[in-house]
Amino acid sequence: MEALARTGEAIRATTSKLEKTRLLGEYFAALDDETLPLAAVYFTARPFADRDQRKLNLGYAVIRNAVCDLAQVDEEALGESYMRHSDVGDVIEEVLQGHTHPRPTSLREVHDTFVRVYEQRTVKKKTEALRELLDRLTPREAKYIGKILTGDLRIGLRAGLVEEGIAKGFGAPLADVSWASMLTGDIGEVALLARRGGLRSARLRLMHPLQFMLASPEEDAAAIMRRVGGEAWVEDKYDGIRGQLHKEGERVVLYSRDLNEVTAAFPEVVSAAAAVPHDVLLDGELLAFKDGIVRPFFELQHRLGRKVVSAQLLTEVPVIFVAFDLLYLDGRNLLEEPLRERRRLLDELSLPSPF
């Protein structure tokens, strides 16, 4: 943990993108195979990889209670520190000065604590697990635990720089690192593949969210045509949420744009997909749809976040899945196939209602 915190501070101290990349690359290259994947994930400010559906959902109260108890200060002291720093990690570092009992702590031990926090069901137990971890760290190390738990390192490490650091550390093509990251959804696994020269062996696997292909702006229509190579497909943009549907055997899973599973909120879509006689990965849009009309987004919001959808809500806010791309079909990765071919295969599926 000490090396991660030290590297984070060095990255924070420079504004040079090249230097940030170099620092990350050197750090990653020096790690063993057990530590490397954890470090790569932690530098994305997440306790678990994207494809890992475990979410800590750790409220501020747990962090506050653990820090206040360990430092023997009240909430007001934390508030005063936050007014000075506006960063939870910096607050933790300041408040814990002289109050912890540091001893060497590996990233595996940090990971084990994150798992323990995830498994606990009460605020008290989660707080106890976090307090025990913070107590064995230096304040600077504890700062980075806070940053990871709040999802923001705030060290100038923009999205993509971790991939660049992996490419730099192991002499791998950045395009291969990015491709493997999209396929696996696990930057830690990608780091190991890069070390072993196996990035091109990364395979698309169902039942974990694939990073979404998102739109990006261009100055004008001419720039768009130059970018896409002379032919463009135009589709209506509906007022719904982006969705990714994975179907393998009898199992169907839906993921949202932020890579969270939302299967339970859309049982009618799941039931229809289960009847499709193929293994597929569909990219599309989930929409509220009633009487042949796409309904406003605020109606769809009634379905979001639900673990159980009542029969009444199914009737009041029916939903459809508008599939606009087919990325996988019966063991075949279609990501590198032309869109025209993917759409042909999608049309041939003849998906049932509510598709």
Q: Is the confidence at residue 230, as pLDDT, over 80?
A: no
The rounded distance, in Å, linking the Cα atoms of 19 and 144 is: 20
Domain 2-150 has CATH 1.10.4160.10: no
Catalytic residues: 237
Written as one string, the DSSP assignment of 91-136 is: HHHHHTTTT-------HHHHHHHHHHHHH--SHHHHHHHHHHHHHT
Structural contact between residues 97 and 25, judged by C-beta atoms closer than 8 angstroms: no
Q: Which of 66, 92, 97 is nearest to 78 (CA)?
A: 92
Q: Do the domains 221-349 and 2-150 match in fold?
A: no
Q: Is the confidence at residue 124, as pLDDT, over 80?
A: yes
The rounded distance, in Å, linking the Cα atoms of 106 and 273 is: 44
Read off the pLDDT band of 218 (50, 70, 90).
Answer: confident
The rounded distance, in Å, linking the Cα atoms of 226 and 125 is: 57
Written as one string, the DSSP assignment of 271-331 is: HHHHTSSS-EEEEEEEEEEETTEEPPHHHHTTTTT-SS--HHHHHHS-EEEEEEEEEEETT
- Please report the pLDDT score of residue 53 as a whole number: 76
Q: What is the pLDDT of residues 159-183, one digit of tens each?
A: 789 999 999 999 999 999 999 998 8
Domains in the chain: boundaries: 2-150, 221-349
Quote the tokens at residue 61.
Answer: 């109260």
- Please report the pLDDT score of residue 101 as a whole number: 97
Of the ranges 49-53, 222-226, 285-289, 316-320, which one carries the lowest mean pLDDT score? 49-53
Q: Is the confidence at residue 314, as pLDDT, over 90?
A: yes
Q: In percent, how much of the chain has pLDDT > 90? A: 79
Q: What is the mean pLDDT of residues 213-226?
A: 85
Of the ranges 152-166, 207-221, 257-271, which one carries the lowest mean pLDDT score? 207-221
Residue type, 4: L
Q: Is the confidence at residue 187, as pLDDT, over 90?
A: yes
Reduced to 3 states, what is the DSSP secondary structure of residue 255?
strand
CATH number of 221-349: 3.30.470.30
Q: Is the confidence at residue 258, as pLDDT, over 90?
A: no
HSE-CB for 68 with a 13 A CA cutoff = 15
Provide the mean pLDDT of the chain: 93
Residue type, 310: S
**Total-model pTM:** 0.83
The rounded distance, in Å, linking the Cα atoms of 156 and 162 is: 11
